[in-house]
Chains A and B, each alone.
Chain A
Amino acid sequence: MPGFNDDIFFATIGELSAQLKAREFSAVELARAYSERLDKLGPRYNALALPLRGQALRQAREVDGEIKRGRRRGPLQGIPYGAKDLLSVAGQRTTWGAPPFAAQVFDYDATALRKLDAAGAVLIGKLAMVELAGAGGYHSAAAALFGPGLNPWDRSRWSGGSSSGPGSAVAAGLVPFALGSETWGSIMTPCAYCGITGLRPTYGLVSRYGAMPLSWTMDKIGPMGRSADDCGMVLEAIAGGDWDDPGSAGKGFYYSSQYDRDLKTVRAGFASVDFQEWAAPSARPAFLAALDVVRAIGLEMKEAALPDFPYEPVANLVIAAEGSSVFQDFIESGRVNQLVDQHQIAGLKAGLEIPAKDYLRAMRVRRLIENALRELFVEYEVLVSPACFDPATKISEPVDAEPDRPKPKQKGLSELSAAGNLAGLPALFLPCGFADGLPVGIQLVGMPFSEGLLIAIGREFQKRTGWHRRRPTVET
């Protein structure tokens, strides 16, 4: 077995794929090395939900056989990865990060995992998450079966949620990439806090079959990895129509590293107030420098603001009503009281009391939001904003604490995360520097099914910056 150094654990999919192709190591050797690292270091960050080393090595052996026979399946063949523990793997525990579901086992694989299997990627473990993906609105980073997600850059800080395990595991080099999910901020936050790249696909582009439902109209599955390129490769493998998902858009995604459009013709919107007032003072230099890089790529940059809507109340109400309906039997049985976070328990119970008229009105306003954003995207093709305005919170602090600085008068694009998730818009999250020694990142949000454009801008951004190559000190 070759002696793997740290560079391997922080390599991109493209680099690992080239080395596999050149037979510098085998898929079994790679899967073994990553599995050992994940199993050993995953618990340090409370990132590991379930090791799958045996299954991974069997699969990797098959991949090696295929490579030997000259059967190439694409860049993911033989690449290890992890999956958020809300995606079912037949015959294995799928805990949804919650004590009452600690022994839950399904007899089928989630579609996204099945597709990765078909692409030859090797699942080496299930990764930890906030319980029930924060269905009831959580207050504490500790609202998780395996403990609070610890940030590899500083273990006294949170790794973000609800895809906490994928965030920590990718950042610490325990997996080359992972699948996470986002209903509202659950890919964005761990990517920003842990300094990794992630992609929230357009609603319906990736099948949700086999994933824990939280909000039928807002849940998305997406990749978290080392670069925009890597996210593109993974998205190509997991996207596509699925009869098992009633929300499936029936569309696929083809990834090419050669985007056929001159980025200088792309119209981008940003709000100065996001970068200069909403952002934490310590993070402003990094955010402003990132904006300069986007400008230097040549995009036509113009000030933008979201149309005036109550985005956050709508998102809160839709998620509360749908999430509580999903878990109605669980709530009414009393098992909900076994959850870790008391706020989450209260939120789930309260969601059952939302009158139909309130939910329907929220969904009708959501229609207006979709229409208004569609019009906004006639003027702009991409919106650029900080992903999170502050670096990672301390584990000991409530995750929903308001920052102790006055709220700016202008909203700018500060509600872009709520707006984008309500309208099912895709977003790419890119690390863009550090504040107080912790990573921060920006988001690029585009119109539905514009992932190719977002990734092309992200790739160019990452050619000009090295933030996605930064790695935390990981003692082995």
Chain B
Amino acid sequence: MKLTRRELAGMIAAVPVAARQAPGGGADPPEQLLKAAVEDNRKSAAAIGKLALPLETEPAFVFKAQ
């Protein structure tokens, strides 16, 4: 199924206005949100880093020979 640009524009415009206004989303500027998200990841890494990790521990990937 193909959509014309007009149909697509209409569809996106049809998204309820409320759907575009995330609660609290408008309050913080994007740079501040990005900074906070980077900081969250740093905090997660710090929490993980506290755990003693035996040297031989391999990551939880599953590799399969093709």
Contact = CB atoms under 8 A, between A and B. Distances in A.
Interface string A373-409: 0000000000000000000000011100000000000
A365 B48 contact: yes
B28 A342 contact: yes
B60 A398 contact: no
A363 to B, nearest CB: 4
Given A342-B30, A343-B22, A99 B15 contact: yes
Interface string B15-51: 1101111111110101001101110110111011111
Contacts of B2: 103, 105
A283 interface: no
Contacts of B25: 139-140, 341-343
A361 B48 contact: yes
Interface residue range, chain A: 35 or more
A369 B25 CA distance: 35
A353 B60 contact: no
A367 B56 CA distance: 11
A203 to B, nearest CB: 9
B1 A93 contact: yes
Contact of B58 (A138, A350, A367): A367
A145 B12 CA distance: 8
Contacts of A342: 22, 25-26, 28, 30, 33
Nearest to B51: A365
A354 B39 CA distance: 10
Contacts of B64: 246
A246 B48 CA distance: 27
A367 B59 contact: yes
A198 to B, nearest CB: 25
Contact of B45 (A312, A361, A369): A361
B47 A313 contact: yes
A147 B44 contact: no
A91 B21 contact: no
Interface of B: 1-3, 8, 11-12, 15-16, 18-26, 28, 30, 33-34, 36-38, 40-41, 43-45, 47-51, 53, 57-62, 64
